[in-house]
C-alpha cells in the first residue's frame, strides 16, 4: 500500500487529538506513517500512541533546531522523509503553523497543496479532499494533479478511531538548512483549564450581546459546565471584552466542533466563515431577525442572561 505521511502535533509530551484524526483519515488512503519531530524523551510514548491509531511506521527526528527555530526545521524534516519514503500524500493539521509547514513542504516537493479540508477520501487518481468555501456556503471536492498531495485538515473533521498497528520506529537524521527565524524567548500561555479552541468538541461563544467584559461570565459558566472552549465574535474582541486569541471568524480562528453555541452574536458573514462547518449550531439572541438564525439547527429568541444560566443549571443537574 502507498505510504501516507502524517505530521504528528504534540504538546507537553502528549499527542494532540487532531493528529489522531489525521491517522484515522490516512488509513482510508493507504498505509499511515507518523512523523514525530522534536519530541525529546517523549518520543517513545508518542510513537506508541501513533501506533495505537494505525501508524505502521513512525519516523522520529530530534534536535535543538525544532525548539530554537521556527517552521523551517519541520519543513526540512518532512520534505526529507517524504522524498525518502516516496510518500503518496502528506497530511498536516490546519492551523497557522501547520499551513505554513504544508505550503513550504509542497513547494520543495514540487507538489500541489489543499488547505482546510473537512474530509479526505481515496479517489481513482489519489486523495480527494472536501473543502467548505465562500464562508462555508458551498462544499467542493478537490484533488492535486501534480506530485504527492500535501493536505491540511481542520480539527474535528473526523472522530479518531484506534486501529493498532506495528508502529515500527525509524530514527531519522535531518539535514537542516539553517535558514529560519530564531526563537529568542518563550512565555507560557496561562492555562484556563478549558480545551484548545480549535480542537474542542463544544464551543460556547459570546458576542456584542453580552454587553461588557463582565457579561462573559455567563458564557464561561456554561462552557465550564459542558467542558467546552470559549469563543468570541470580532465585535466582542474589538471592544476589549475578551482576548483576541479566542476570536472566531474569518480574521480569527476557524472552528468545527460537534456543537457550537452562539450567544448574543448577530451572525455577520465574517463570523460565519469561522464556525459554519460546526456539526450542530445553537443560537441565543433576543433579536428574532438576527442573521445567525438563518444557519442554526436550533434557535432561542430570548435574553442570553436569562437563557444561559438556566441551561447551565440543567447541564449541572445532569
* 285 is known to lie in a ligand binding site: yes
* 265 is known to lie in a ligand binding site: yes
Give the burial string for 179-188 (b: 16+ CB within 10 Å, else e).
Answer: ebeeeeeeee
* 246 is known to lie in a ligand binding site: no
* 27 is known to lie in a ligand binding site: no
Whole-angstrom Cα distance, residue 303 to residue 42? Answer: 48
* 254 is known to lie in a ligand binding site: no
Whole-angstrom Cα distance, residue 148 to residue 128? Answer: 12
* 244 is known to lie in a ligand binding site: no
Residue given cell 529560519 in the structure block: 180
The conformational region for residue 197 under phi > 0 = left, psi -120 to 50 = alpha, else beta, is: alpha
Query: Three-state SS for 137?
Result: coil
Shortest CA distance to 35 belongs to which of 24, 46, 21?
46
* 247 is known to lie in a ligand binding site: yes
* 211 is known to lie in a ligand binding site: no
* 296 is known to lie in a ligand binding site: no
The conformational region for residue 273 under phi > 0 = left, psi -120 to 50 = alpha, else beta, is: alpha
* 28 is known to lie in a ligand binding site: no
* 234 is known to lie in a ligand binding site: yes
* 267 is known to lie in a ligand binding site: yes
* 276 is known to lie in a ligand binding site: no
| Kind of pairing between the strands at 10-11 and 14-15 | antiparallel
> CB within 8 A of 317, min separation 6: which ones?
none
* 264 is known to lie in a ligand binding site: yes
* 94 is known to lie in a ligand binding site: no
Q: In what order do the strands lie in the sheet with 150-153?
A: 138-142, 126-133, 113-123, 150-153, 89-93, 3-7, 31-37, 57-61, 168-171
Known binding-site positions for FAD: 208, 233-234, 247-251, 264-271, 285
Binding positions are 208, 233-234, 247-251, 264-271, 285
Amino acid at each position: 500500500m502507498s505510504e501516507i505521511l502524517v505530521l504528528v502535533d504534540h504538546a507537553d509530551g502528549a499527542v494532540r487529538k487532531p493528529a489522531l484524526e489525521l491517522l484515522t483519515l490516512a488509513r482510508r488512503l493507504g498505509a499511515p506513517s507518523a512523523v514525530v519531530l522534536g519530541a525529546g524523551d517523549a518520543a517513545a510514548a508518542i510513537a506508541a500512541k501513533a501506533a495505537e491509531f494505525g501508524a505502521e511506521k513512525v519516523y522520529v527526528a530530534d534536535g535543538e533546531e525544532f525548539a530554537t527555530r521556527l517552521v523551517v526545521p519541520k519543513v526540512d524534516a518532512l520534505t526529507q522523509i517524504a522524498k525518502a519514503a516516496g510518500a503518496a500524500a502528506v497530511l498536516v493539521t490546519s492551523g497557522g503553523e501547520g499551513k505554513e509547514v504544508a505550503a513550504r513542504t509542497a513547494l520543495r516537493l514540487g507538489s500541489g497543496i489543499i488547505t482546510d479540508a473537512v474530509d479526505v477520501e481515496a479517489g481513482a487518481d489519489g486523495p480527494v479532499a472536501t473543502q467548505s468555501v465562500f464562508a462555508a456556503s458551498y462544499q467542493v471536492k478537490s484533488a492535486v494533479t501534480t506530485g504527492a498531495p500535501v493536505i491540511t485538515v481542520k480539527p474535528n473533521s473526523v472522530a479518531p478511531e484506534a486501529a493498532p498497528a506495528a508502529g515500527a520506529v525509524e530514527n531519522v537524521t535531518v539535514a537542516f538548512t539553517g535558514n529560519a527565524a530564531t526563537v529568542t524567548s518563550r512565555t507560557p500561555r496561562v492555562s484556563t483549564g478549558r480545551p484548545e479552541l480549535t480542537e474542542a468538541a463544544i464551543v460556547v461563544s459570546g458576542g456584542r450581546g453580552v454587553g461588557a467584559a463582565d457579561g462573559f461570565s455567563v458564557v464561561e459558566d456554561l462552557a465550564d459546565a459542558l467542558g467546552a472552549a470559549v469563543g468570541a465574535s470580532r465585535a466582542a474582541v474589538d471592544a476589549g471584552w475578551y482576548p483576541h486569541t479566542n476570536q472566531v471568524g474569518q480574521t480569527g480562528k476557524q472552528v468545527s466542533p460537534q456543537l457550537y453555541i452562539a450567544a448574543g452574536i448577530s451572525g455577520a458573514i465574517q463570523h460565519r466563515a469561522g464556525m459554519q462547518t460546526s456539526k450542530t449550531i445553537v443560537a441565543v439572541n433576543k433579536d428574532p431577525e438576527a442573521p445567525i438564525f438563518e444557519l442554526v439547527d436550533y434557535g432561542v429568541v430570548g435574553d442570553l442572561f436569562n437563557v444561559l444560566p438556566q441551561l447551565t443549571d440543567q447541564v449541572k443537574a445532569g
